[in-house]
Every structure is written in C-alpha cells, then in structure tokens.
Amino acid sequence: MTPSGSSAPADILRAYAPQAGLRATLEPFARDADLRARLAANPFLMAPMAGVSDAAYRMMARAGGAALAYSEMVSVAGLHYGGAKTWELVLPHDPEPDIAVQLFGADPAQFLEATDLICERLGPRLALIDVNMACPVPKVTRKGEGSALLDDPARAARIVAACVSRAHVPVTVKVRSARRSGEPEVAAEFARAMEQAGAAAVAVHGRTASQLYRGAADWGVIGRVADVVSVPVIGSGDVRSPEAAVRMLRETGATAVMVARGSYGNPWVFDDARRLLGGVATEAPTIDRRLSALCCHVMLLEATGAHLARARSLAGWYLRGMPNAAQWRERAMRCATVGEYLQMVEAIRLACEALS
Ligand SMILES: Cc1cc2nc3c(=O)[nH]c(=O)nc-3n(C[C@H](O)[C@H](O)[C@H](O)COP(=O)(O)O)c2cc1C
C-alpha cells in the first residue's frame, strides 16, 4: 500500500493490466547494445508530452509495449533551484525500469549541472537525456529555450557538448523542421551540427515551431535529416495509429518513431505497431479492454500521487467512440475519486452489455 492507502503501482499493473490486454511487468530499455540497435529492436517510443506523460501515463505506454517513455520536459533552471515539483517530473516511479529525461533551458552551464544531478540520482534507471529544441511555447522561446535554439546552433551545440561531457547515457536532441513556416528548413543542417557536438540521435518533429501542433506534419523533413546524419533519427508527427507508425518507419528512413497524441486512450498502439511491423494484422481494442485500461490508468494516477483532475481527459480519450460517449464524458467530469471512476466504468459496462 502507498501512503495514501492505495495499492502500489506494481500491484495495480499485476492485477489489472492483463485484463486490459497490457503487460503486467515493464521491460527495461536494453542496455547491452548501441543506441541504434536498441531502437531497432523495438522502434516505438512514447513521446515527451508536458502535462500528459507523467509516471502513470509512461507506465501505461510501456505496459502497451513502448520501448521507452520520456518524461515531460524539465527545466534545467528548475533543477538548479532543486524544487521538489521539478524533481517529481524526473524521477521514475516503481515499477518503471528506466526513463528518458527531457531537459529544456538555454544555459550550457545549467545543462551540465542538471546532467550531473540527474545521472547521480537516477543512476542505472536513466536511459537517455534528450534536449528539447522543439518547444514552440512563447513563455519558453522568449528565454531562448526550446525551438528558439534552432536560431542559435552554436549555443545548442555547447548545450549538447556540456551534457555529453557528463552523461553516462546517450544524449539526444529533439528539433522541429524550422522555427517559422515559410522560412527555409533548418533541421538537416542543424541536426548535423548537433551530431558533431556529440548527439547520439536526433528526434525530428515534422512541423515548424510556428505551426505549434496544427496542420499536417511533413514527414519529408525526417527523411532529409536521416539522409545527412549518421546517428539514428527518431520521427515524430501525426503518428495516430499503428499503421501510421509503421508507415513512418518505412517511408522516412527513421530508425524509430515517437507516438504522441496517437497514444491518447490507446496504450496498445505500441505493441500493435510492433506486430504490424512483423506482418501480423491487429484489431482495434475492444470496449472491455478500453474500460479495463481506464480503470488501471486512473488507479495508477492515484498511486503515483498525481492530481486526479488528469483522469478527466484520460476518460474522454478512453471512452471516445463508445455508445453514449458524450453522456459518459459528462459523468467523468463529476467524478472526484477513484471509486467514482470505477463505479462509472461498471455502469458503462452494464449499459454496453444491455445494448449488445
Ligand atoms: C500536450 C502536448 C505536450 C507536449 N509536450 C512536449 C514536450 O514536453 N517536449 C517535447 O519535445 N514535445 C512535446 N510535445 C510534442 C510531441 O512530443 C510530438 O512531437 C508532437 O505532438 C507531434 O506528434 P503528434 O502529431 O503525433 O502528436 C507535446 C505535444 C502535446 C500534444
């Protein structure tokens, strides 16, 4: 039992993941091969998502077969000041075997310090460090952080070199195609500079920063980066289904693929993509599995100390497309405890049985 009286996350996974068609134990990101070989062995990763990819979300993704899951982006300045809330974003929860930590900031000295701190505290549970050079939010870019680094490759290279000088794990970067739509694409040239600075892989989100998360992603840029760097490229953007994940791998020359919004309410997307890559057809998860996954996810939220308000959007995602989904989503908005969510799920099960 956790201090709040709920079961421990490992017990929750053991008890509830199998009935949702998910893994009860989470596999580590293999350490005994180089990064390209590790990525190729299972090329489907859970993307970093601020406000979403907390410990419960990462566990569900890995229970669904993600090779690795990223933290939300973490401020190197926040780590410098040692805030408990910032550390909460970084530290993996049991039973997460390991974690990819994504850092953002603009000061190479703070990245160096953050790398030291993270390596020391996480030790073997740190799988890699990723530097965010993609975030388009003005609050971030105004300070020269996130995608603003695309305009300052010399500083970006110093940041990578600082992390590499201290990290016992691969240091990677995540970029956008360019800062502003209509301006020349910078990703390929920028990625080469990051490779020279020591980056062990480059993740490419095929949108400009000014697109934010709207409009179709351009997968062409992922291929253009893969053509000019010798480190692995990880593609991102519009991977909304197992089919899209496999198509991105095949069409772009990326070594691996990040699933972001495509994992909303769909932790199975990772294993499904892997099966599809191996030539095995997949089926959409049943209502029963989706309801079981929602229960498991909400229990994990509570067990990891997350705010239960996050369960509202989760419920919306898991219930999408079910009979009377709008009515159930409204009920989810009124749920304040895990018990109320479980009761709601029971009511949905009964209602669905009555319809069938
Ligand atoms: C809610 C949300 C939060 C995100 N937070 C981050 C972040 O912290 N770091 C990052 O590199 N990308 C972040 N992203 C971008 C995703 O990792 C991904 O690159 C992007 O959503 C494109 O993939 P998609 O079109 O398949 O969703 C975020 C995306 C969303 C939707």
Spatial contact of 174 and 200, defined as CB atoms under 8 Å apart: no
Q: What is the mean pLDDT of the chain?
A: 96
**CA 52 – ligand 1 centroid, Å:** 9
Instruction: Output the CA 297–ligand 1 centroid distance in Å.
Output: 20
Domain chopping of the chain, boundaries: 23-277, 287-355
Q: Rounded to the nearest whole angstrom, what is the distance from the C-alpha of residue 174 to the centroid of ligand 1? A: 10
pLDDT for 30 beyond 70: yes
The residue-averaged pLDDT of 113-131 equals 97
Per-residue model confidence (pLDDT) at position 4: 53
Rounded Cα distance, 293 and 305, in Å: 18
Per-residue DSSP letter, 129: E
Q: Which of 213, 218, 314 maximizes ligand 1 atoms within 8 Å of its Cβ, making it the mutation to test the pocket? A: 213
Which residues approach ligand 1 with their CB closer than 6 A? Answer: 47-52, 72-73, 102, 132, 134-135, 174, 205, 213, 217, 236-239, 260-262
Q: What is the pLDDT of residue 31?
A: 76
Q: Which atom of ligand 1 is nearest to the CA of 47?
A: 17
Percent of the chain with pLDDT over 70: 99
Q: In ligand 1, which atom is closest to the CA atom of 206? A: 22
What is the residue with the minimal CA distance to atom 10 of ligand 1? Answer: 48
Predicted local confidence at residue 39, as pLDDT? 97
pTM beyond 0.95: the answer is yes
CA–CA dist 217, 4 (Å, integer)? 42
CA gap 204, 218 in Å, rounded: 10
CA–centroid distance, 216 to ligand 1, in Å, is 14
- The string of pLDDT tens digits covering residues 37-79 is 999 999 999 999 999 999 999 999 999 999 999 999 999 999 9
Nearest CA owner, ligand 1 atom 29 = 49
Ligand 1 atom having least distance to the Cα of 239: 26
Report the separation in Å between the CA atom of 302 and the middle of ligand 1, taken as the mean of its atom positions. Answer: 24
Please give the distance, rounded to the nearest whole angstrom, from the Cα atom of residue 142 to the centre of ligand 1: 19
Structure tokens at 167: 């990290």
CA-261 nearest atom, ligand 1: 27
- Which residue of the set 119, 135, 335, 352 is catalytic? 135
Model confidence band, residue 2 (pLDDT cutoffs 50, 70, 90): low
- Please tell me the class of the 23-277 domain: alpha beta
Closest residue to atom 4 of ligand 1, CA basis: 49
End-to-end CA distance of the chain: 38
Distance in Å, CA 211 to ligand 1 centroid = 12
Residue 259 CA: nearest ligand 1 atom is 26
Mean per-residue pLDDT for 78-93?
94
Peptide bond into 95 cis (omega under 30): yes
pLDDT tens digits along 172-218: 999 999 999 999 999 999 999 999 999 999 999 999 999 999 999 99
Does the N-terminal peptide bond of residue 184 adopt cis geometry, omega within 30 degrees of 0?
no
Q: Is the pLDDT of residue 1 over 70?
A: no
CA-based nearest residue to 20, from 273, 285, 314: 285
What pLDDT does residue 356 have? 79
CB 208 within 8 A of CB 179: yes
pLDDT tens profile 148-183: 999 999 999 999 999 999 999 999 999 999 999 999
Indicate whether 137 pLDDT > 70.
Answer: yes
Please say whether the beta carbons of 277 and 307 come within 8 A. no
Residue 163 bears catalytic tag: no
Question: Which residue, by CA, sits nearest to atom 6 of ligand 1?
Answer: 49
Convert 48-71 to b/e letters by CB count within 10 Å (16 or more is b): bbbebbbbbbbbbbbbbbbbbbbb
CA-proximal residue: ligand 1, atom 30 (nearest)? 49
